[in-house]
Structure 1
Amino acid sequence: MTRRVQILVALALTALWGAGIFAAHAGGHLRFLDRLEATLTDWRTQVRGVQRPPDLVTIVAIDDTVVKRGGSYPLPRADLARVVDTIVQFKPKVVAIDLLLVDRSAAIGDATLANTLATGPMVLAAAAIFPSASENVAPGSAGPLAVLPQAERFLLPLPAFADHAEVGIVNVATGQSGSPLSVPMLFRTRDKVELSFPLRVATRALDKPLTIAPDHLMLGDRAVPTDTDFALPITYYGPRRTIRTVSAQSIFDGTLNRAAIENRIVVIGASVAGGGDFYPTPFDSLMPGVEVVSTAITHLVSGDGIVRDHRVHIADALAAILLPMLLVGLLAWRRSALGIMAAAAVMIAWAGLNAFAFTHGVWLNAATTLAAAVPPVAIFAGVQLWAGGRRTQYLAAKSRSLAQFQAPAVQEWLARDPNFLSKPVRQDAAIVFIDLSGFTSLSERIDPDALQEILQAFHARIDKAAVDCGGMITGFLGDGAMILFGLPAAMPDDAARALKCAIDLHRGVDHWIASLPSAIGGQLGFKIGAHFGEIVASRLGESHQHITATGDTVNVASRLMEVAVQNDARLALSNTLLDTADFHGAPDGVLSGPLLAQVRGRSGVVTVWFWRDHSGPGQGATKAEMID
């Protein structure tokens, strides 16, 4: 499978994963993502910071001060009637009582409260009772209202109270963290639909008709965007009492400020420690339920709520599919730090966009997108690292294999300069040739495996001598080799190192032949020629290139091996090489000459010297011929 096909398969699987995560979460599964989303929502809310709410609502709190005065909770109905009566006298837009008036109390108190409720615009709280912790939709339901939370029944105020006021359901929807993230606007039983408490209050305060559209609500001519189940997402303005709050005790003390009530929405609710309902929110671990409800009322009336409607869900679906594909694509595009940096930049940009949208009133889901993006990106990156490790091992093995065919210095030079010797270069260099004698006839008589072992041992000695002296073997010629001194760059001691290599080869190969069985070693000999001069270094070949040297110097070095044999010697050195190397003899060796030799295929003569190892095992096998 080609890499392009692999990437396309990875992108397709990533898209399927993202779509599956979004669909599963939208279908009510993967509930752990709700907890993650609640946490991320708290963070985004805190990043946005405390906001000043529209000054539309006043909370009249039945707090600890009131309870201490009266000595009991719930507040006696007669005292509640006094609170409501005082508020009505200050002419509010609407009075919303966030207390469940479902039980009878003293007859006089109930009658007094009922009469008071008839004196002004009132909305009373009711509660939805659900058969279980989950709010299910009845099977077979159809139409836009099918998505509403279905209650077993509604816990309504006493008829004596409900006859004088409108009623709204006060339940809120909490996430797995316990923080209310939305307030359902509509509830239903099998045969009845009820408006929520905040929606009743807002409708009465605005005095505009309510229209239920398929995917949103209309208050008059203004659209109220809701979630898919007609829930109103809420975002908190700040900690408790951020919305204007006064104690009900100020009514009993006669200190209530008329300006806090007149022409405003007044919500009466409990904030008694240990008695009222409290919820954790991003700014406050104990937010009174009445302030949560008041936040929803403010959103509805002012239109400053956060948007999480069907268009936002479409954007969430696209993000869950496209963001992971983009990240995987970036990692595939550049399998390096650049690809990782690009993917990280995209993730940071997405996080910034998500936070920016939240602070500007659009709630994009973060948890679902992360769940869609992180696993495939992590898996793909892991596979990339594994494949990269395998590829690194392969390339290292390949490099080690290639290193056997190229000198280390040349390898390093080619790594730094891939165009090295792409054009021929003229320079001075030293050349050493070595060749086995008698190998061809020997190969006709012995086993091929034994023959290979002989060649391997011979080549190993050549390789060691070349490496020790800093030479480059340009090629093994079967039973011989050519060693070049002067690449990748010419050095002042090239001739001296070539001379040392030639002498080391003489001694090493001589001892090796002597160590072979007489039936083999007796058939073998060797010859070495070394010369210094100008060469042409270049790269030859197309698909398989090799570095080599050509020119008269190379030809002379090769022919010097013949001169050595003709003069009963094993090592022939040109006078040019000796002069350049400034050679004055070596221990345990004798230099004889000079000889003015005619080299085959070349006009003119070459001054040649012969070096013999008097301490070697093969000394005395040849007789030198000297010419003065």
Structure 2
Amino acid sequence: MSHRLLTVIALLLAGLWGAALGYLNLNGGIGLLDRMEASLADIRSIVVGAKAPPPVVSIVAIDDRTAAAHGYPLDRATLARLINAINALKPKALALDILLVDPGPEEGDAAVTAALGEGPSVIAAAATFAQSRQRVTDLADDPLAAIPEADQLLLPLPRFAGAAAVGVVNVATDQTGTPRFIPLISRAADRLDPAFPLRAASVALGVDPTIERDAIMLGALRIPTDIGQRLPVTFYGRRGSIATSSAADALDGKLAADAVTGRIVVIGSTVTGGGDVFPTPFDPVMPGVEVMSTAITHLVTGDGMVRDHRIRLIDAAMAVGLAIVLVSLTAWRRSAAGYAIIVLALVVWAMLNLAAFAHGYWLSAALPIAAALPPVLIFGAAELWLDRGRARHFAEQSALLQRIEAPGLGEWLARHPNFLAAPVRQNAAVVFIDLSGFTGLSETLGPVKVSEMLSGFFEIVDEEARAHRGAITSFMGDGAMILFGLPEPADDDAARAVACAVSLCERTRQWLDVHAGFAEKKISFKVGAHCGPIVASRLGTGDRQQITAAGDTVNVGSRLMEIAARHGVELALSAEIVGAAGPDSVLLAAGSIEGPLETALRGRASHIDAWLWRSRTL
């Protein structure tokens, strides 16, 4: 499979995978992604840091000091005194985050009823569900369709409900118990009830809430909501971030007026061991009353997180886009620079996501990661698998090339792929070797046997060429041409060529002696060596190219084999190559040379001077 086809398939699958995850998230979320998103939301909250809440809500806490002085839970008469003490300071609204579902002493219940009726007030109710997580249908034409249906409602006593508005105190937590959303509407079989924070905000603002598909309207104030009319909750900081006073001070007449007057006051329990606590990114034991107060602040001021249908659409688009971008970058350039660009793209996306979170827009971080990571990993693994196949192929080709070319020429071609793309004129030395009488032998032995025998001869040529750093530019039937001076000319090209020619003579003679039948068939060999200017180039087109050399130097080297055969010697060398290598060189110590002899060459008008080499073992 080609790289381009694999990339197209990877991009298509990445887009489909991101779109599928985006669609599922758009219609209710995915359990694993929700868990990931919760952890990433905590990280972003900590990075953004704590902030001061708007001064619109105050908490009067039934804390440990109150419990020590007045008992816990507070009796109804004491609770009534607390409500009256707060109402005396003219709060904007009073919200009682205490479930009063069972009757108490008549005198106390009557006092609480009267106290609640003294001003705008809200009292808590609770809902229970058959399942902790329900699957709902999100219908575009029904804003209530995505609200889970409660199995049971725990309502305050009717006398209390007649004196105060009722709100449900349920929260939606993740697997760690951290509150993430406040369901603003609870639905039972025959009724709808607003959440405690929504009821408190509605009473304080003096408007009834209006339900839209992705929002709750409080007069002119539009509060965006998530699926199921849920309000995303983000916390201002540790417990106590929202102004908190002790109920003991209120009962003792010591409650500061500026903590109550004109504010929404929430009464709730913070007593140690009371159980109404939740973990948050800033505090492991955030009181439930402060969770409710945080949601009330979001509703009244509109400073809560925006995570509605439009945000989820952006999440889906980002899931598809990030997956396609990262796969494209992975396919584009797999290098240090390419990987740096991928990391940069991720950093830019993370910074944009964090900036949006800091400005109140809760874009998903888990969804794009889940959409992009698997396609990139799978595509990268497929690329590595294909690369290993290509690497094996190239290694085999390189090994084959190294057997044919001079040591280092394959590496040179790898580093300089345009080497000899245009013909180059340079000085070089050339050695030719050819077996004589082999054509007749091939007619007798047949092509298979001849091929087996020639492989031994070619192995000798290959070993000697490699040993003397020459390049075999061609095998010609029962002969070969070896070039010295590629990839670059060297001062000892001629000396290495002469040494190679002498070694070829010695080893080829030994090879012929091993095969006794060669003597009967009068098989022999001849070698010619010359140096001078050549034209090196590549021949061929497409995937099949061959490095070769041409010019008068090559022609003379080939004709010198005929001079050797004419004078009954194994090796004929031109005066040029002997002069360049040195006639007294140690490279010629294995034999003797005579010359120079002026001789004519077939097909050449001018004569040349040649030296004849004889082995001392003959």
TM-score category (smaller protein): over 0.9
Aligned CA distance change for structure 1 residues 521 and 62 (closer, same or farther; 3 Å): farther
Change (3 A) 1:551 1:379: closer
| Paired residue type of 2:299 | L
The answer to whether the aligner puts 1:37 opposite 2:37 as a matched pair is: yes
Counterpart in the other structure of 2:514: 515
Give yes or no for the alignment of 1:376 onto 2:375: yes
The worse-fitting range, judged by mean Cα deviation, of 315-324 and 54-63 is 315-324
* Corresponding residue of 2:206: 207
Which residue matches 2:260?
261
Any idea what the Cα deviations from partners look like across 1:280-312, whole Å, max 9, x if unmatched?
A: 001000000000000000001011011011111
| Deviating more after overlay: 17-26 vs 559-568 | 17-26
Check the 8 A contact 2:26/2:312 in 1, yes or no.
Answer: no
Q: 2:550 aligns to what?
A: 550
Q: Would you say the 8 A contact 1:97–1:125 is kept in 2?
A: yes
Q: Is the 8 A contact 1:39 1:177 kept in 2?
A: no
Q: 1:191 to 1:400 in 2, by over 3 A?
A: same
Q: Which residue identity is paired with 1:251?
A: A
Distance in 2, Cα, partners of 1:203 & 1:588: 112
Q: Distance in 2 between matches of 1:195 and 1:472?
A: 89
| 2:182 counterpart residue number | 183
Distance 1:500 1:199 in 2: 99
TM-score (structure 2 length as normaliser): 0.95
3-state SS of paired residue (2:207): coil
- Aligned counterparts of 2:199 and 2:520: Cα–Cα separation in 1: 113
Match of 2:601 among 599, 602, 605: 599
1:167-201 Cα shifts (integer Å, max 9, x gaps): 11111111111011111111111111111111111
Distance 2:597 2:365 in 1: 91
- Partner of 1:145: helix, strand, or coil? coil
Separation (CA, whole Å) in 2 of partners of 1:132 and 1:418? 68
Report the 3-state secondary structure (helix = DSSP H, G, I; strand = E; otherwise coil) of the residue aligned with 1:86: helix
Distance 1:153 1:431 in 2: 100
Contact 2:125-2:154 within 8 A present in 1 as well: yes
Matched residue, 2:341: 342
Query: Offset at 1:40?
Result: 1.1
Change beyond 3 A, Cα 1:592–1:2: closer
**Is 1:52 aligned to residue 52 of structure 2?**
yes
Q: Where does residue 250 of structure 2 map in the other structure? A: 251
Change (3 A) 1:556 1:30: same
Shift of 1:27: 4.8
1:555-594 matches, within 5 Å, as 555-584=555-584, 586-594=588-596
Q: How does 1:250-399 map to 2 (within 5 A)?
A: 250-399=249-398
Q: Find the residue that maps to 2:502 and give its secondary structure.
A: helix
Tell me if the contact between 1:25 and 1:31 (Cα under 8 Å) persists in the aligned partners: no
Q: Is the 8 A contact 2:234 2:305 kept in 1?
A: yes
Contact 1:138/1:146, CA 8 A, preserved across alignment: yes
In the TM superposition, residue 52 of structure 1 has moved relative to its aligned partner by 0.5
Per-residue CA deviation, residues 93-114 of structure 1 (Å, 9 max, x unaligned), is 1111111111122222112222
Aligned counterpart, 2:442: 443
5+ residue gaps in structure 1? 620-628
SS state at 1:281 partner: coil
Number of residue pairs matched by the alignment:
615
Q: How do 1:349-498 residues align onto structure 2 when only pairs under 5 Å count?
A: 349-498=348-497
- Within 5 A, what are the aligned runs for 1:214-233? 214-233=213-232
Distance in 1, matches of 2:212 and 2:335, equals 52
1:597 partner letter: T
State the alpha-carbon separation in 2 of the partners of residues 611 and 589 from structure 1: 7
Aligned to 2:65: 65
Change (3 A) 1:539 1:369: closer
What do residues 90-145 of structure 1 show as CA deviations (whole Å, max 9, x unaligned)? 11111111111111222221122222222111111111132333356599998221
**1:16 paired residue number:** 16
Residue 158 (structure 1) aligned with residue 157 (structure 2): yes
Residues 316 and 364 of structure 1 are in contact (CA less than 8 Å); yes or no, is this contact kept in structure 2? yes
Q: Does the 8 Å contact 1:432/1:483 carry over to 2?
A: yes
Mapped partners of 2:606, 2:163: distance in 1: 133
* Partner AA of 1:121 in structure 2: P
- Which amino acid in structure 2 is aligned with residue 567 of structure 1? H
**CA deviation digits over 1:259-285, x for unaligned, max 9?**
111111111110011125000001000
Is the contact made by 2:183 and 2:229 (CA closer than 8 Å) also made in structure 1?
Answer: yes
Residue by residue over 1:246-269, the C-alpha shift from the partner in whole angstroms, topping out at 9 and shown as x without a partner, is 001112332111111111111111
Native 8 Å contact 2:468 2:497 kept in 1? yes
What secondary structure is seen at the aligned counterpart in 1 of 2:222? strand
Q: Secondary structure at the match of 1:444?
A: helix
Instruction: Kindly report which structure 2 residues correspond to 1:90-109, keeping only aligned pairs within 5 A, or say none.
Output: 90-109=89-108
Distance 2:187 2:552 in 1: 104
The 1-side partners of 2:5 and 2:224 are apart by 44
Name the TM-score, length of structure 1 as normaliser. 0.93
SS in 2 for 1:608: strand
The equivalent of 1:622 in structure 2 is none
CA drift at 1:26: 4.8
Counterpart residue identity of residue 348, structure 1: V
User: How far does the alpha carbon of each residue in 1:317-349 deviate from its partner, in whole angstroms, 9 at most, with x for none?
Assistant: 212222212222222233444443333322222
CA distance in 2, matches of 1:557, 1:116: 121
Q: Tell me, in whole angstroms, the C-alpha distance in 2 between the residues paired with 1:453 and 1:139.
A: 79
Q: What is the percent sequence identity of the aligned residues?
A: 48
What secondary structure sits across from 1:536 in the alignment?
strand
Q: Distance in 1 between matches of 2:254 and 2:159?
A: 30
For 2:163 and 2:234, locate their aligned partners in 1 and report how far apart those are by CA, in whole Å.
32
Residues 1:120 and 2:119 are matched in the alignment = yes
Any idea what SS the aligned residue of 2:234 has? Answer: coil
CA shift in 2, pair 1:13/1:419, >3 Å: closer
Mapped contact 2:59–2:293 kept (Cα < 8 A) = yes
8 Å contact from structure 1 (residues 281, 287) kept in 2: yes
- Does the Cα contact within 8 Å between 1:148 and 1:187 map onto a contact in 2? yes
Determine the C-alpha separation between the residues in 2 that align with 1:131 and 1:554: 95
